Structure 1
């Protein structure tokens, strides 16, 4: 028997026989040279259409986060730039179609990884699409989750989001991956499906175990030589009444992160009290020129309309060196995560920000949503003041900033004196605090939102919130963890915004204890020496 520790990303305990997931095909050969280059290149797009059609068919049978992931993967399978690059590799370099797709996808993935942030999180999707196309062109089966007649624990190097999206929780007792991180799509989907999951569990595959006991809350995987009788995952029954509060009535708004009309609908169906993060990038991602104010107004209104009468926090464009957009003409940088991104892009392009603010204000008037606006990547009080002045001049009634850097947290009091509220982006704040790229699986433990250093920064923000009478929320993936959500409330966080699928479990967990208990749990977590101990100490308070 051996125990492997990783990062728990979806709570619950389960045990059962292990099924290994072989999720990668062998690298396709560079030869032989095709006899007819035009015919060989012509095979690529039909194969892509077939892959996309299969994914769309699966998407129609799914819902929520799962449907969104499958739709995105289907769209990526027919991405014109990827397919054109593959066709050129056939005609110019005389490669077989499968090898051409493999190399074109590798270049695409390398570009996204170098960009960092949200775009880097799409690398696993590109690899999944690559493998599906290569399999189709090679006439072999797609590697992925094998069919099983017995409820099992899946153990893999990593799981493609599209394979995770439609797993059956009755047959998949738990997920264990050697790679991945707490903000990966696989982690988000596991939470939405209610499947206990541990990522970054290095050594899980090499143990060659027949059975496993998984604790998705503690982040541990006990691997044994014998097959275990399946034990269904233990999960908290969701007894959420639709309003976020502790058991003694202390209000904590439970909101949803959205970036499309589909997200908005899913959020309201799940009972969200509004949206704590409306990502506006969707309006810009495919644009070769800046969308006009009228185009932006129409796009934003479509997402805001379902939230009529409800609060929505709109984040201004979060792009730049880490998320390059063609019309921004931002120079390449050696370290995009530390470069000109977020609000920094607007310092040399104030008109870009002003036009977006005008469109947001108009869209709010069109829809009746109660809109606030916040800026991403704010590091200093001076930057917050600059943004607040422009936003208020545009007619924004409630102005805020995102706290994603230690600098912003350390200046919390001065920062909140310039704006009406702040929202903590725990994903970026964790990676900057621990100097750990959140896309590197080997560093997943440092990006665990239970890291005491991160929690201490949140505590500082909670204190500043009380002193300035300006609310502070959380809109990172940390809000999706039911136990951590209560701890954040204990640290003074006034609202939690998350993936829609996490709302019921977070709402139910929050309502199980009074605020004073959550505060004690928070005190214990903050004083812990590490992430695992922080989680254990918080749980001990609740169990006691």
Structure 2
């Protein structure tokens, strides 16, 4: 790498070369002019601005689909939260001008969400964009739109809000580079779903000026300003070959020498069901059931759950569907459960641990009853796994409970380092394991997965994380039980080959990533994958592992 080259985290594979166009900053908050003469009128104006922002997000969501629609719909709920208006009212009462009252209220909730960690912290960064949009509406100023230089460009920004990312036109935008963000940020999720090469957590990109030609590799995270023309031609030729391989990608996952690797999709909501089912995959490797429980005042009934699960099983008739039981509690609080007060929610009563409480035990029993009833009506091959399992005893107890409900194949998520270290014992009591690399990474490196400042520690290429994957995969080989990966790591084609080289038997990913992973695997023998895995394990840092494997 030359001195002028930059590195970030590649979150959406592919390569592109085009001039830079930067996203303009939002309107600045004007100086505080002091108390409003009529605080009631000021509060009404603030409420109207909040509603205008929410309505705009609703309209954007209605024009979108898949994860984009789900993210925008979730964002639209935030400006309508009555607690936000209450904080604005309090700030107005303290003598703030309306723009500063709005900024102060958003700052309060941003801090609260960051402190909560996990699922709630995922929404914290979005509050900055909502604040900016609300203040812009209040002042009658336009929010800066996406640049349109009249040619294809690489979009560079400090960070991208979902509303901006959703508006991207792949015919105009060649790639994305952000100075902030992380591998599980909304920018990463949406770029991957749109098939746009993307690099996040690249602070050096702040120096890129409009019009600078850059070469972007969304797989390795490499950004090359003013690249040599010959290098650009070689990279774009390789990208054209990759695109051709994607177009021809069909059928079950196989290495070049015929080693089978099951390719599955992750499913997080009913809104994504039709698109996920249409993908040429072997089923669902991670069916997140939280969407049935969150953002409602009462628990879903057994009948409601049977209906929802049945829709998924029908859509994947004859294919495998791995259902993850409710991953809630602490950082994903349920209004109908008393979670108590936890100082560190990420290490609290969440996932299978919720079943230690009376209310949580009842929720799990109802859920297993519903999954079993729905499975009995359909031909999908239904597997069930529990989140946040830490000990062999927890894995065995969950498997026993599943079998008591008539569910024959019961497994565990491995997202706690203790479960990976003792994977052979964990597998003694259940039928399979699935590695959730997002949480396993944050617990292994002691880095909150939503903290962009720690993005390099959250890189799924971190060798320490891959060491734990290797341990779990080896335990699966010895027990002759499947061990898959269902975290974001499985969506990276090169890293997918490394995971296969470590011994995982299945990969579950965003539906948009299946073709790319299948195509990459088809070009590598199992021995190639093992060699790539060895290169990654010998590295000291995630960025070093990625570059070593890319050069292999």
TM-score under structure 1 length normalisation:
0.91
1:338 lines up with 2:347 in the alignment = yes
Note if contact 1:260-1:303 (Cα within 8 Å) is conserved in structure 2.
no
Note if contact 1:255-1:274 (Cα within 8 Å) is conserved in structure 2.
yes
What's the offset of the Cα at 1:260?
A: 1.4
Give the aligned partner of residue 193 of structure 1: 194
Give 3-state SS (helix, strand or coil) of 2:216's partner. strand
What's the offset of the Cα at 1:459?
A: 1.1
1:311 lines up with 2:320 in the alignment = yes
Give 3-state SS (helix, strand or coil) of 2:128's partner. helix
1:280 lines up with 2:282 in the alignment = no
What's the offset of the Cα at 1:42?
A: 2.8
Note if contact 1:17-1:228 (Cα within 8 Å) is conserved in structure 2.
no
Note if contact 2:36-2:92 (Cα within 8 Å) is conserved in structure 1.
no
Give the aligned partner of residue 257 of structure 2: 248
Give 3-state SS (helix, strand or coil) of 1:42's partner. helix
Give the aligned partner of residue 73 of structure 2: 71
Give the aligned partner of residue 206 of structure 2: 205
Give 3-state SS (helix, strand or coil) of 1:159's partner. coil
Give the aligned partner of residue 163 of structure 1: 164
Give the aligned partner of residue 4 of structure 1: 6
What's the offset of the Cα at 1:526?
A: 1.8
Note if contact 1:17-1:229 (Cα within 8 Å) is conserved in structure 2.
no
Give the aligned partner of residue 394 of structure 1: 405
Change (3 A) 1:108 1:394: farther
Note if contact 2:23-2:157 (Cα within 8 Å) is conserved in structure 1.
yes
Matches within 5 A, 1:435-446: 435-446=446-457
Give the aligned partner of residue 265 of structure 1: 274
Whole-Å separation in 2 of the counterparts to 1:228 and 1:69: 40
- Of stretches 203-212 and 424-433 in structure 1, the one that deviates more from structure 2 is 203-212
What's the offset of the Cα at 1:477?
A: 0.5
Give 3-state SS (helix, strand or coil) of 1:457's partner. helix
What's the offset of the Cα at 1:241?
A: 0.5
Note if contact 1:82-1:104 (Cα within 8 Å) is conserved in structure 2.
no
Deviation string 1:119-138 (CA, Å, 9 cap, x unpaired) is: 21122333322322221122
1:149 lines up with 2:150 in the alignment = yes
Change (3 A) 1:267 1:225: closer
1:451 to 445, 448, 462: 462
Deviation string 1:202-229 (CA, Å, 9 cap, x unpaired) is: 2321465752332222222234599999
Whole-Å separation in 2 of the counterparts to 1:295 and 1:215: 45
Matches within 5 A, 1:105-116: 105-116=106-117
What's the offset of the Cα at 1:247?
A: 2.5
Whole-Å separation in 1 of the counterparts to 2:46 and 2:317: 45
Whole-Å separation in 2 of the counterparts to 1:389 and 1:310: 24
Whole-Å separation in 2 of the counterparts to 1:80 and 1:27: 22
Whole-Å separation in 1 of the counterparts to 2:420 and 2:207: 41
TM-score under structure 2 length normalisation:
0.90
What's the offset of the Cα at 1:304?
A: 3.6
Deviation string 1:244-275 (CA, Å, 9 cap, x unpaired) is: 22233322222111121121211112223211
Give 3-state SS (helix, strand or coil) of 1:327's partner. coil
Deviation string 1:510-532 (CA, Å, 9 cap, x unpaired) is: 22222222222222222222222
Aligned-residue CA RMSD in angstroms?
A: 2.7
Gaps of 5+ in 1: none
Deviation string 1:79-121 (CA, Å, 9 cap, x unpaired) is: 3335543564477556555444333333333332222222211
Deviation string 1:419-445 (CA, Å, 9 cap, x unpaired) is: 111110001111111112222222111
Deviation string 1:481-535 (CA, Å, 9 cap, x unpaired) is: 0111122122111111111111221122122222222222222222222222322
Whole-Å separation in 2 of the counterparts to 1:482 and 1:519: 15
1:492 to 495, 500, 503: 503
1:512 lines up with 2:523 in the alignment = yes
Note if contact 2:411-2:431 (Cα within 8 Å) is conserved in structure 1.
yes
1:406 lines up with 2:406 in the alignment = no
Matches within 5 A, 1:7-406: 7-27=9-29, 30-77=32-79, 79-81=80-82, 84-85=85-86, 88-89=89-90, 92-93=93-94, 95-206=96-207, 208=209, 210-211=211-212, 212-223=214-225, 234=239, 236-237=242-243, 238=246, 239-349=248-358, 350-406=361-417
